[in-house]
């Protein structure tokens, strides 16, 4: 009952042109009516996001989807049928009515149907698709709890819809259907293997720095204040002797004495659990005024691919994500 009331309140705010943080299964988003350019502009301002970086639009049903896209290729349709609602975003040719601000002038729009029940009913009550970039200042880690949002943007937004901690913990997987062959623009909450089991081989977009088609692809992104280092080995740990170091471990480490603090992503080495814990763990380490965070590499299979992608970007490394 209480939920219903707050969801209605949030929907009214969005309808009047306000901006509301909302929960999804991946990370919290910053929502505004996708067809209200003034409200969308405020989302960019609050996030300090460059206008060349287009937003994902969230839908609750196929009527919403029809307002956004011209045509849906059959592979895209297959993915939507099997994976929506869920952490998959598809990039499709947009309708002229979609404001250019939303898509940064691109001929395409990125769309997803999130899985969180509160947000599905929110979008339903608004009666219009809502934009939803992650609810963090540009370049910083995405929020996975309402409290993360409150700490970073609380005083600048109109409402926070608290739906508890995000289940998946990394952003959606983005697949573009703009070119002839489907292309992975950002690894995320749905493993590439699962997508390929439905539509066959998908190309992987190389990382680009200028005018990126997904700035989540910028080499330094999803970054905390404390430097994160991925390239280190147990052998050269001594060279960090005078430093206050945190360890971001995948599983329980054997030798823990050298570290000021340790965060273990998944004791049993489970990728899903690791992804769900990733951003919160980095935030906790970032709050300790460490000199350095050493991060352990994770095998790049399943959700491990998204985890490694975010770790690379958090550490400012820019190699191409290969297979
Ligand atoms: O899981 C998610 O996707 C979350 C939750 C809130 O739904 N949202 C999210 O949004 O991660 P954001 O704005 O932080 O990341 C969206 C990414 C950006 O890297 C953007 O460049 C890319 O999607 N993007 C948006 N529209 C695009 C388009 N038309 N073509 C290519 N990339 C696009
Ligand atoms: Mg983001």
Cα(92)–Cα(110) distance, integer angstroms: 7
59 in Cβ contact with 111 (< 8 Å):
yes
Would you say the CB of residue 213 lies under 6 angstroms from ligand 1? yes
- Sequence-distant (≥ 6) Cβ neighbours of residue 15 within 8 angstroms: 33, 126, 127
The ligand that comes nearest to the alpha carbon of residue 113 is 1
Q: Across-strand partners of 173? A: 88
Per residue in 50-62, pLDDT (tens digit) is 999 999 999 999 9
86 in Cβ contact with 136 (< 8 Å):
no
243 in Cβ contact with 249 (< 8 Å):
no
Please give the biggest Cα pair distance in the chain: 60
For ligand 2, the distance from its centroid to the CA atom of residue 135, given in whole angstroms, is: 7
Give the confidence band of 272 by pLDDT, cuts at 50, 70, 90: very high
* 3 state DSSP class of 285: helix
309 in Cβ contact with 303 (< 8 Å):
no
For ligand 2, the distance from its centroid to the CA atom of residue 217, given in whole angstroms, is: 10
Can you give the pLDDT at residue 211? 44
Give the confidence band of 320 by pLDDT, cuts at 50, 70, 90: very low
Q: Which of 44, 55, 93, 113 to mutate to test the pocket of ligand 1 (most atoms within 8 A of CB)?
A: 55
What residue owns the CA closest to ligand 1's atom 22? 214
Would you say the CB of residue 315 lies under 6 angstroms from ligand 1? no
Q: Which of 85, 104, 135, 171 to mutate to test the pocket of ligand 1 (most atoms within 8 A of CB)?
A: 171
For ligand 2, the distance from its centroid to the CA atom of residue 41, given in whole angstroms, is: 16
Can you give the pLDDT at residue 311? 94
For ligand 2, the distance from its centroid to the CA atom of residue 142, given in whole angstroms, is: 6
User: Is residue 213 over pLDDT 80?
Assistant: no
User: Is residue 319 over pLDDT 90?
Assistant: no
Per residue in 27-41, pLDDT (tens digit) is 999 999 999 999 999
Lowest mean pLDDT among 22-26, 64-68, 147-151, 201-205: 201-205
Cα(4)–Cα(293) distance, integer angstroms: 42
Would you say the CB of residue 119 lies under 6 angstroms from ligand 1? no
For ligand 1, the distance from its centroid to the CA atom of residue 56, given in whole angstroms, is: 5
Can you give the pLDDT at residue 217? 58
Per residue in 161-173, pLDDT (tens digit) is 999 999 999 999 9
């Amino acid at each position: 009952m209480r939920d219903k009331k707050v969801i209605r309140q949030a929907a009214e705010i969005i309808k009047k042109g306000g901006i509301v943080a909302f929960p999804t299964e991946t990370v919290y988003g910053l929502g505004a009516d996708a067809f209200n350019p003034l409200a969308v502009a405020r989302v960019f301002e609050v996030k300090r996001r460059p206008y060349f970086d287009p937003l994902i639009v969230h839908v609750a049903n196929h009527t919403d989807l029809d307002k956004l896209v011209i045509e849906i290729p059959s592979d895209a349709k297959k993915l939507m049928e099997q994976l929506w609602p869920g952490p998959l975003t598809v990039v499709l040719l947009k309708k002229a009515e979609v404001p250019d601000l939303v898509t940064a002038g691109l001929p395409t729009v990125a769309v997803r149907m999130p899985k969180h029940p509160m947000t599905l009913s929110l979008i339903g009550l608004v009666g219009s698709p809502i934009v939803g970039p992650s609810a963090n200042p540009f370049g910083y880690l995405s929020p996975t709890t309402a409290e993360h949002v409150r700490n970073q943007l609380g005083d600048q937004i109109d409402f926070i819809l608290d739906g508890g901690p995000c289940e998946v913990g990394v952003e959606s997987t983005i697949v573009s259907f703009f070119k002839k062959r489907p292309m992975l623009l950002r690894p995320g909450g749905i493993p590439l293997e699962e997508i390929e089991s439905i539509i066959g081989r998908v190309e992987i977009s190389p990382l680009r720095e200028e005018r990126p088609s997904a700035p989540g692809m910028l080499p330094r992104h999803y970054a905390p204040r404390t430097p994160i280092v991925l390239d280190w080995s147990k052998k050269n740990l001594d060279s960090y002797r005078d430093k206050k170091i945190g360890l971001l471990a995948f599983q329980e480490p054997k030798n823990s004495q050298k570290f000021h603090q340790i965060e273990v992503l998944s004791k049993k080495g489970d990728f899903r659990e690791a992804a769900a814990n990733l951003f919160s763990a980095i935030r906790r380490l970032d709050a300790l005024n460490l000199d350095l965070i050493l991060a352990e590499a994770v095998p790049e299979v399943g959700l491990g691919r998204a985890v490694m992608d975010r770790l690379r970007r958090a550490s400012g490394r820019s190699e191409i994500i290969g297979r």
